[in-house]
Amino acid sequence: MDSAREEILGKVRASLGRGPGSPVAPVPPTTRVSPRAPASTDAEIALLFSEIEKLNGITRRLAGRDDLKTALAELVKAEAVKKATLWATPEFQALDVAGALKALGVELTSPQADQRLVAECELGVTGVDVALPETGTLLLRSSPEKPRVVSLLPRVHLAILRRAALRADLHQAFSEVKQDGYCVLVTGPSRTADIELTLTLGVHGPKALYAWLLDEA
Amino acid sequence: MPIKAQLFITCLAEQFFPGVLRRMVGLLERLGVEVAFPEEQTCCGQPFFNSGYQTQARELARKWLEVFGRTDGFIVSPSGSCVDMVRHHYPHLFSPGTPEHRLAEDTAARTFEFTQFLVQQLKVTDVGARFPHKATYHASCHLLRGLGVREEPKALLRKVQGLELVPLSSEETCCGFGGTFSVIYPEVSQAMMEAKVNSIEASGAEVVVACDAGCLMNIAGGLRKVNSPIKAMHLIEVLTADRGTP
Amino acid sequence: MSQAAAPIDFRTNAQHVPPKMPAAVQKATAKFLGSRAALVEALGNDLWQTLRQAGHDLRLHAITHLDHYLEQAERAVTKVGGHVHWARDAGEANRIVLEIARQHDVKKVVKSKSMATEEIGLNHAMEAVGIQVIETDLGEYIVQLLGVGPAHIVVPAFHLSKEEIADLFRKKLGVDAPAEAEKLTQVARTKLREEFLAADLGISGGNFLVAETGTIVTVTNEGNGRMCTTIPPVHVAIVGIDKVVPDWESLTVLLKVLARSATGQKITCYTQFISGPPGAEAETGPKELHLILLDNGRSRILKSPECRETLLCIRCGACLNICPVFNSVGGYTYGYPISGPTGMMFASQILGAKAAGGLPFASTLCGACNDICPVKIPITEILLHLRHRVVEGDEQEKAVAPYALRMGAQAGSLALRTPWLYRLGSTMLKWLQTPLKRDGWLPRLPPPLNRWTMARPFPAFASDFRTWWRTRSREAKGRQ
C-alpha cells in the first residue's frame, strides 16, 4: 500500500472532516456559465479571422483545390519552404496536399521520422478539428494520422480548416474531445514578452501561423 | 422627529484633527441633525485587530458596543476605516447567536461614514459650501473597498461652489499608511507615500481631499516633507471652509 | 512543517531592492493591468463578475471535496496509462523524480515553468546528482543562467534590460547577439531546440488537473510547454493537489478568467490537454507519463476554514500586478518563488509562522487584490487571520510573536478601554511633545515612532474636542 497516498488522503479528509465514504455534493449550478451564442456562419468566420489576425496570424479563404494550389505556391515562396511535414488524414489525402507540395519542389518528411529531421522542416500542415471564433483558437486533436509535432516543430504552421469545424464556445468543443488522450488549443503563433515586455513571435513553437478556410464542400 | 446622530469621533481624528470634528458638528447641526457625543468612547480597536491581536480587539469592541449600543439614532464617523471595522469585523469577533453578536450586528447596521450618511441617509449632496480652488480626491482604501463608497465624496465635492475637481491618476492606489504597516515596514510605506505625493503634485491641484485621518496624516506629512504648497484636507474641512474656524 | 527554512526578513529585503527594480515592476504590471482592464470591459462587468463567482464556487467545491476528486483523478490517469505518485513533501517529490530519472538513465532534463517545482527546489536536487536541468521558458532560462529565481510568476526576467540579457548570453552561452528582443529570443530558440531534442526527460507542472478524465492542463505562450511534454521520451508532471478541478466544464470558466487576469490575453497561445501518454501506435509523444501529486503543506492549509481559500489560487499573478507593495519592491523581497499577496498567503502557511511570520504583515490591507482576484479569494481576510495566528496562535500553530509585544498589546488595550486613562494619556502626550514640536509637527520621535518620522513628520497631538463639546453644551444649557 502506498503510505504517502494514504497519509495525504488521510490528512485531506481530516482537514475537511470527511471520511472515505463521505457524500460528494454535485458541482454547484452557480458554477455553470452558458456558452456564448454564435452569430451567423459568415459573421463567425469574420470574427475568427479577425481574432487570428490580431495575433499576427495570416488568414485566407480558398474557393477550392486550385485556390489551395496557388496559395501553397505563394506560401512556399514567401516562407522559403524546402521541407514540410503533414497530417495524414483522409481529408488531406483527398486534397492531395502532399502532391501539391511535392509539385512545388518541397521535400516531405514523415512526422514519425526522427524528431531532429522533423524539426528541420520549415512548414507543418495540419487540419483543424474545432475552430473557436471568440478567441481565434484552433483545436487540434492527436492521433497517428494527426501527430502533435506537425504543428509544433516547424517554423511555419499552416492550418487548413472547414466551416464544419466552427463551434460557438469551449463547451461544445470540450464535449467532443474530452475522452481523447491529447488535444491542444492553438491561438496565434508562439510568443513571449519576457524580454523587457517586448512582444516577440516564434519562441519555441511556430513563428508564423497561417489559417486557411477551404470552402469547397 | 429630527434625525439623531451619535458622533463616533475616532482616536486618530481626536488626537490630530480636532478641527475636523468641530466642523463636522457644525455642519450636521446646520443640516438639521441632532448631534450627540457619547463621552465614554475611546478607540474602536482597529489597530489591534489589524495587527492580529483579536483578543484585545474584542475587548475594545465590547467597550465600544457598550458605549454606542445603548444609544439611539445613527452613529456617524469622519473615518472610513473605523466604520469598516465596526460594520465588517465586529460581528466576526463574537460567536453567532450570542447577544454580543446581535448587538454588534444591530449597532453596525446604523453606523455610517460621514459621506455615506450625508448622501445615502440624508440624501444631501449640496451643503451650500464654497471653496474656489483646484482640488483632487484620494480614495481611502477601507472607505472605497471596505464600505463600497466611491461616488459619494466626489458628489459632495462637485457641488461645492467654485471648486474645480481634477483627476488624480493614483486615486484608488493605497497611500502606504496601513496603520502599523507604516512602522513595521517603513521603507515600503515611504515609497508608497512618495508615489502618492508625486501623483498629487502631477495632478495640478492646490488641495488633496480625503476622508480618513490615517491617510491624511500620511499624505500631509509627505507633502510637508517636500515643502509642497499643496494642502491635505479632510472633506469636511472643504465643505465648511467658508464658515471660519469654529 | 515542511523543509526548515531560514526566516524571511521582508524588511531587510525591502531595504535592498535594486534602484531600477520599482520602475521595471511598475512598467510590467501597468502593461498587464491595462490589457486586462480592456478585456474585462469588452466582456462586460456583469459577465466578468458572474465568471468570478462561478470560478470561486467551483474551486471551493473542488477543494472541499478534494479527497474524492484526487481519487477520481488517480483512477482516470491510471486508466489511460499514466503512473500516479503521491508526494507528502518536497523531499519525497524530489526523490520520486530522481528515481524515475535513475530508471531511465536521465542525463538531461528540459523543464517548462512550474511554481511547484521551484517550491520544492527540484532543480537543486537534480543537479546535486549530476543531472543537467534546463529551464525552457525564456524568462526562466534567463534567470537560470543568471543563477537567481524568478522575479514574477508570469514574467520571471522582466526587470532585466536587453543589454543585460545580451551580455548574459555572451558570457554564459558564448553567443554574440545584438541587444534586441527579437534577436535574443532567436538565440534562445536555437539553443533550446538542441536541448529539447537531446533531452531524456521533460518536466512540467500543471495549471489544472481534471478529475473527470485525469487530464493535465498546461497554459503557455511560448511552446516550450508543448516541447517539454512532447519531445522527450518521458514526461513527469508535478502538480499540487490544490490544482484539481472536477470536470471539463469547469475549464470553460477558468480558461476564460486565467489569461485575461494574468497577461490581458483572451487565452494563451497553447492550452494542452494531456490524458496519459499517447497510445502504442506510431504516434509521436512520450512513451511514459508520470504524475506526481504534491501535498507539501496544502492538506494543512485545507484544515483552517479561515485560510483554506488560499488554495483556490489559479496562479494568474493579477494580485501581484495590482498590489502597491509588490509594485514598490518587486518579487524577490518576498523570499519565495511565488510573491505578492498570493505568495504571502502560501509562503506563511507552507513554511510556517516561524519562518515566514512577517509576511502576512507586508500589506496595508488595501484590498485591491480581493477585487482583482478572478476566483474571489478573500485575500485580506486570510492575511488578517494569518496575523492573528502569528501573534496569538490558533489551532494550526502557536504564537511566535515576542511575549513583550503581547504584553504591550494588553497594556494598550487596557489604556484604550479605560476612558480616564485614555483621556489622561491624550493630555500627557500634548505636554510631553512640547520640546519636540515644530510648527504643529513632530519631525523626530523616539523609537518605535522614529520609523514613522524617518519618512515624514508626525502631526502634533492636539486633542481638544471634549473640552470644546463640554463648554458648548454648558453654554447651550445656560441659554435655555
pLDDT score at C281: 56
Chains contacting B with at least 3 CB pairs below 8 Å?
A: C
pLDDT 10s digits, A11-31: 999 999 999 989 999 999 989
Q: Which member of A31, A112, A205 has the closest CB to residue C270?
A: A205
Q: Do chains B and C touch (3 or more CB pairs under 8 A)?
A: yes
Cell of B203: 495632478
Residue type, A205: G
- Quick one: pLDDT band at residue C1, thresholds 50, 70, 90? very low
- Sheet of C83-87: strands edge to edge? C83-87, C288-294, C234-240, C201-204, C108-111, C132-135
Q: Averaged over C258-269, what is the pLDDT?
A: 95
Interface check for A149 against chain C (CB to CB < 8 A): the answer is: yes
CA–CA min distance C37, chain B (Å): 15
Cell representation of residue A190:
508562439
- Cβ contact (<8 Å) for B174 and C368? yes
The pLDDT tens digits of the residues spanning C370-383 come to: 999 999 999 999 99
CA distance C219 to A184: 10
- Nearest Cα to A203, choosing from C189, C140, C137, B6? C189
Q: If you average pLDDT over each of A199-203, B170-174, C3-7, which comes out highest? A: B170-174
Q: Which domains does chain C have, with CATH numbers?
A: 44-296 (3.40.50.10420), 404-479 (no CATH)
- From chain C, pick out residues whose CB is under 8 angstroms from the CB of A129: none
- Give yes or no for residue C282 having a pLDDT over 80: no
Q: Which residue of A has its CA nearest to C303?
A: A15
Contact, A158 vs A125, CB < 8 A? yes
Instruction: Find the CB nearest C221 among A143, A185, A190.
Output: A190
pLDDT digits (tens, 9 = 90+) for B51-75: 999 999 999 999 999 999 999 999 9
Percent with pLDDT over 70 in chain C? 98
What are the phi and psi torsion angles at B203 (to 5°)? -75, -20
Give dist(CA C138, CA C162) in Å, integer.
13
> Where are any strands of DSSP class E within C136-179?
none
Nearest to C283 among A116, A143, A185 (CB): A143
Listed by number, the residues of chain A in 10-49 with a beta carbon closer than 8 Å to a beta carbon of chain C are 11-16, 18, 20, 22, 24-25, 27-28, 30-33, 35
Give the CA diameter of chain B: 54
Residues 6+ apart with CB under 8 A from A110: A85
The yes-or-no verdict on residue B244 having pLDDT over 90 is no
* 3-class secondary-structure state, position B133: coil
DSSP letter string over A115-158? Answer: HHHHHT-SEEEEE-SEEETTTTEEEEE-BTTB-GGGGTSSSEEE
C-alpha cell at C105: 538513465
DSSP string computed for B219-233: HHHHHHHTT-SPEEE
pLDDT, position C2 = 41
Q: Which CATH architecture has domain A39-191+202-214?
A: 3-Layer(aba) Sandwich (3.40)
| Mean of pLDDT values over C146-153 | 86
Q: What are phi and psi of C87, to 5 degrees?
A: -125, 120
- In this prediction the ipTM stands at 0.96
Map grid coordinates 484590498 to a residue: C367
Please choose, from the candidates A194, A101, A103, A96, the residue with its C-alpha nearest in 3D space to the C-alpha of residue A156.
Answer: A101
| Three-state DSSP class for residue C180 | coil
Q: Give contacts of C 57-116 with A, CB under 8 A.
A: 57-58, 61, 64-68, 70-71, 80, 85-88, 92
pLDDT at A197: 86
Nearest to C296 by CA among A16, A18, A8: A8
Per CB-CB distance under 8 Å, the chain A contacts of C95 are none
Q: What's the per-residue H, E or C state across B47-72?
A: HHHHCCCHHHHHHHHHHHHHHHHCCC
Nearest CA in chain C to B57: C413
Tell me which residue of A13, A51, A37 sits closest to A186, measured CA to CA.
A51
- Identify the helix (H) or strand (E) that includes residue C196: helix C181-198
Residues of A in contact with C303 (CB under 8 A): 14-15
Pairing of strands C132-135, C458-459: unpaired
What is the pLDDT of chain A when averaged over all its residues?
Answer: 95
Given a cut of 80, is residue A183 above it in pLDDT? yes
Partnered with residue C292 across adjacent β-strands are C85, C238
CB A43 within 8 A of CB C60: no
For chain A, the domains span 39-191+202-214
Chain A positions touching C226 (Cβ under 8 A) are 148, 152, 184, 204-205
Report chain B residues whose CB lies below 8 A from the CB of C389: 52
Taking residue C453's Cβ as centre, other Cβ atoms within 10 Å add up to: 19
Q: A residues 76-115 near C, CB within 8 Å?
A: 111-112, 115
- Nearest-by-CA chain C residue for A118: C197
Average pLDDT over residues C5-29: 92
CB contact under 8 A, C390 and B52: yes
Selecting from 3.60.20, 3.40.50, 2.20.110, 1.20.144, what CATH number does the domain B134-243 have?
Answer: 3.40.50
Contact B87, B111 (CB under 8 A): yes
pLDDT at C4 over 60: no
pLDDT digits (tens, 9 = 90+) for C32-60: 999 999 999 999 999 999 999 999 999 99
Decide if pLDDT at C463 tops 80: yes
Confidence (pTM): 0.96
Q: Given C22, C456, C469, which is nearest B221 (Cβ)?
A: C456
Q: Reduce the DSSP state of residue B9 to 3 states and report it.
A: coil
Closest-CA distance of chain A to residue C158, Å = 6
Phi and psi at residue B240, to the nearest 5°: -125, 15
Chain C residues with beta carbon closer than 8 angstroms to that of B225 = 455-457
Q: Are C376 and C52 in contact (CB under 8 A)?
A: yes
Residues of B in contact with C371 (CB under 8 A): 145
Angstroms from C14 CA to nearest CA on chain B:
7
Surface-to-core class of residue C275, CB atoms within 10 Å of its CB (0-12 exposed, 13-18 middle, 19+ buried): buried
pLDDT value of residue A146 = 94
Helix (H, G, I), strand (E, B) or coil at B137: strand
pLDDT at C194 over 80: yes
User: Are C230 and A149 a contacting pair at CB < 8 A?
Assistant: yes
Contact B174 C441 (CB under 8 A): no
Q: What does the pLDDT read at residue C149?
A: 84
CB-CB neighbors (< 8 A) of C362 in chain B: 181, 185, 188
CB contacts, 8 Å: C462 with chain B? 15-18
Tell me, what's the pLDDT at C3? 47
Interface of B with C in 66-105 (CB under 8 A): none
Distance, in Å, from the CA atom of A35 to the CA atom of C460, rounded to the nearest integer, reads: 60
Q: Burial code of B197-217, b = ≥16 C-beta within 10 A, e = fewer?
A: bebbeebebebbbbbbbbbbb
C-alpha cell at A163: 466551416
C237: nearest Cα among C96, C334, C350: C96
Stretch C129-135: mean pLDDT: 97
Nearest CA to C321 out of C261, C266, C381 is that of: C261
List the single residue in A with minimal CA-CA distance to C161: A196
User: Residue C444 — φ and ψ, nearest 5°?
Assistant: -135, 135
Residues 175-234 of B with CB under 8 A from C: 176-193, 195, 217-218, 220-222, 224-225
C-alpha dihedral (B53, B59, B63, B65), degrees to nearest 10? 80
Domain locations in chain B?
A: 4-121, 134-243
pLDDT in tens, B171-224: 999 999 999 999 999 999 999 999 999 999 999 999 999 999 999 999 999 999
C67-121, pLDDT tens digit by residue?
Answer: 999 999 999 999 999 999 999 999 999 999 999 999 999 999 999 989 999 999 9
In single-letter form, the type of residue at position C212 comes to E
Residue A123's φ and ψ, nearest 5 degrees, are -125, 135
List of residues 6+ apart from A190 with CB closer than 8 A: A201, A202, A203, A204, A205, A206, A207, C221, C222, C223, C269, C270
Are C296 and C351 a contacting pair, CB within 8 Å?
no
What is the phi-psi region of residue C335: left when phi exceeds 0, alpha when psi lies from -120 to 50, beta otherwise? Answer: left
Average of per-residue pLDDT across C184-197 = 94
- The residue-averaged pLDDT of A170-176 equals 97
Say if CB B80 and CB B113 are below 8 A apart.
yes
Count of C-beta atoms within a 10 Å radius of residue B12: 22
C463 touches chain B (CB under 8 A): yes
Arithmetic mean of pLDDT, A142-161: 95
CB spacing of B181 vs C370 below 8 angstroms: no
Q: Which site among C13, C322, C365, C461 would you substitute to test the B interface, given the most B Cβ atoms closer than 10 Å to its Cβ? A: C365
The rounded distance, in Å, linking the Cα atoms of C65 and C60 is 9
Instruction: Render pLDDT for A57-102 as a digit per residue (tens, 0 to 9).
Output: 999 999 999 999 999 999 999 999 999 999 999 999 999 999 999 9
Q: Chain A contacts of C241, Cβ < 8 Å?
A: 8, 12
Quick one: pLDDT band at residue C280, thresholds 50, 70, 90?
A: low
In angstroms, the Cα distances linking C283 to A118, A149, C36, C206, C277 are: 14, 10, 38, 23, 10
- Reported as a single tens digit per residue, the pLDDT across C322-353 is 999 999 999 999 999 899 999 999 999 999 99
- For residue B228, what are the contacts with CB-CB under 8 A and spacing of at least 6? B197, B201
d(CA B148, CA B17): 24
Between positions 268 and 307 of C, the ones with CB within 8 A of A are: 268-279, 281-285, 293, 295, 299-300, 302-303
Report chain C's mean pLDDT, rounded to a whole number. 94
Which of C182, C29, C26 has its CA nearest to residue A199? C182
Give the gap in angstroms from C-alpha A95 to the nearest C-alpha of chain C: 22
Please check the confidence at residue C283 and state whether its pLDDT lies above 80: no
